[in-house]
Amino acid sequence: MTGMVDLVIRGAKVVSAEAIYEAAVAVDGECIVAVGDEALMPPARQVLDADGLYLLPGAIDSHVHFRDPGYPHKETWRTGSAAAACGGVTTVFEMPNTNPPTGTLEALRMKLEAARHSYVDYGIHGLLGDDTIDRLEDLLEAGVTSFKAFVGNTFGNLPAPSDGALLEGFEKLAPLGIRTVVHAENSSIMARREAQLKAAGRRDPLAHLDARPAVAEIEAIGRVVTLAEWTGARIHIAHHSAADSLFVLRDAKRRGVDVTVETCPQYLLINTDHMKKLGGLLRVNPPIREPRHNEPLWQALQEGVIDMIATDHAPHTPEEKSREDIWACDCGFPGVETQMPLMLTEVNRGRASLMDYVRWSAVAPAKAWGIWPLKGRIAPGAHADIVLVDMNRRATLQQGRLQSISRISPWHGRTVVGTPCHTLVRGRFVMREGQLVTDAAGWGASVKSIQKMPPPRPRNLDTTSSAIRRAPADAPASARAAPGAQDSIWADESAYLHPLAPSGARTGGAS
């Protein structure tokens, strides 16, 4: 290579999911153009000395709430994405419980307008609810990358989709190969228990957990896995919290259901011992659970039952988080800026390797959302989404120094060892020497144009809502649907084969 490139990063150890090796990385424009021996790098306009640092693909966070439109006093795209940049996160997927919720074309237009201020790249989860079923294709066309179904209630009080709507939504999305995030808690169980707890006068922090027992998660995961398996739809379980529901996912994955799973640092590192002290600050959905849940979640990550780390970055103001009555505290807290130092600290403690961390933070989400291999890896041709981390740097997390508007964090005062020091998004520094590069606001772009999901694997489409519109052949002509009423995508029977079925077998009922 003879041409001059924009940047060579030298001296670092490059980390992939499989290996850690010394190499220089050359960046030109938005992409990585070479990885290898420093002596073989092309001349560069700029050289970054990264001796002693590790070079990782930027983290991809499947689950953030940037609150705009609707709640800019809690967060904006500018502040939320600044937090991402300073936390080593180069791509975020943002949730639809804004106001208006991202379930109409007009609401999506407002969201995309707000996202123009982003420092980091982003995908948009559209809303899958009873009222949006007929607009799913239009929303995809207009820019959403994926959907979210609030099967359990949370901030924004969006009604949970009925099971019928969920099935119909999956029937529509399965042939398109699009993945739906599910907040998997059973709303009916939680509403009844919450009413009883309130009637009994419970206002203490642990009443929140008592309203949302693990069985609410087990039931909801079982239900959505059933619907996903039947239709062949792709789903993603948000913020997995309970040890007890892992068996459902382990079995579903074994059967070939395309379900990906995230958990968050708060479910790995925090439990009810902290909840008793921090109270409403830790009110989050699903709830912070008993200590017995922490270790099985780590094991599930190692095993691959849980695929990835996300944050559920869910900011509120300090006032909204510190009310005396637990039921009056808003649910969630910021996390996108603290995930990496918290997890790197666990790597330093020996709980996982840096390669594991890259698999959980970058490779798995890139694959789940169809942005691999352009994102999630350090290789020629990939986007230069890079984070350089200092595994020896010791720091104390300070909520007052967070980029988020929500300067309140359950991690405040915690000592971490291992922090991000430089973050690049598509070749551009968005954080340098630990400082936000403020003129990079607006550099972030939607990943919609690069998204490419694997081929869809729909199943059982002959029983889908198309059956409602279809009369039997011996019915009177007046009762039959007009020609063309059936979607042509359902004509190819070979597409219906279950991936695990013996060759030549047609898919039948549940396997």
**Residue at shortest CB range from Zn ion:** 312
Q: From the CB of 63, what's the least distance to Zn ion, in Å?
A: 6
Using the minimum distance from each CB to Zn ion, give the nearer residue, 239 or 428.
239
Three-state SS at 281: helix
Using the minimum distance from each CB to Zn ion, give the nearer residue, 229 or 312.
312
Using the minimum distance from each CB to Zn ion, give the nearer residue, 312 or 390.
312
Using the minimum distance from each CB to Zn ion, give the nearer residue, 150 or 230.
150
DSSP alpha helix (H) spans, 23-123: 77-86, 105-115
Using the minimum distance from each CB to Zn ion, give the nearer residue, 85 or 314.
314
Separation between Cα atoms, residue 271 and residue 256, nearest integer Å? 32
- Give yes or no for a contact between 470 and 486, defined as CB atoms under 8 angstroms apart: yes
Q: From the CB of 183, what's the least distance to Zn ion, in Å?
A: 7
Per-residue x/- track, 256-295, Zn ion (CB under 5 A): ----------------------------------------
Q: From the CB of 276, what's the least distance to Zn ion, in Å?
A: 23
Using the minimum distance from each CB to Zn ion, give the nearer residue, 97 or 419.
97
- Beta strand spans in 16-149 (E): 20-22, 24-28, 31-36, 44-49, 54-57, 59-64, 89-94, 121-127, 146-149
Per-residue x/- track, 305-334, Zn ion (CB under 5 A): -------x----------------------
By DSSP bridging, strand 89-94 and strand 234-237 are: unpaired
Q: From the CB of 61, what's the least distance to Zn ion, in Å?
A: 11
Q: From the CB of 97, what's the least distance to Zn ion, in Å?
A: 8
Q: What six digits make up the tokens of 431? A: 């954080």
Q: From the CB of 238, what's the least distance to Zn ion, in Å?
A: 6
What single string gives the DSSP state of each residue in 288-316?
A: P--GGGHHHHHHHHHHTSS-EE---B---
Main-chain dihedrals φ then ψ at residue 313, nearest 5 degrees: -60, 110
Closest CA to 89 of 373, 352, 406, 310: 310
Separation between Cα atoms, residue 147 and residue 128, nearest integer Å? 6
Q: From the CB of 88, what's the least distance to Zn ion, in Å?
A: 20
Using the minimum distance from each CB to Zn ion, give the nearer residue, 75 or 312.
312
Q: What six digits make up the tokens of 491? A: 């004509």
**Count of residues binding Zn ion (CB under 5 A)?**
1
- Give yes or no for a contact between 136 and 159, defined as CB atoms under 8 angstroms apart: no
Contact call for residue 61 and Zn ion (CB under 5 A): no
> Torsion angle of alpha carbons 477, 482, 484, 487, nearest 10°?
-90
Using the minimum distance from each CB to Zn ion, give the nearer residue, 312 or 385.
312
Q: From the CB of 433, what's the least distance to Zn ion, in Å?
A: 31
Separation between Cα atoms, residue 143 and residue 122, nearest integer Å? 11
For binding to Zn ion (CB under 5 A), which residues are involved? 312
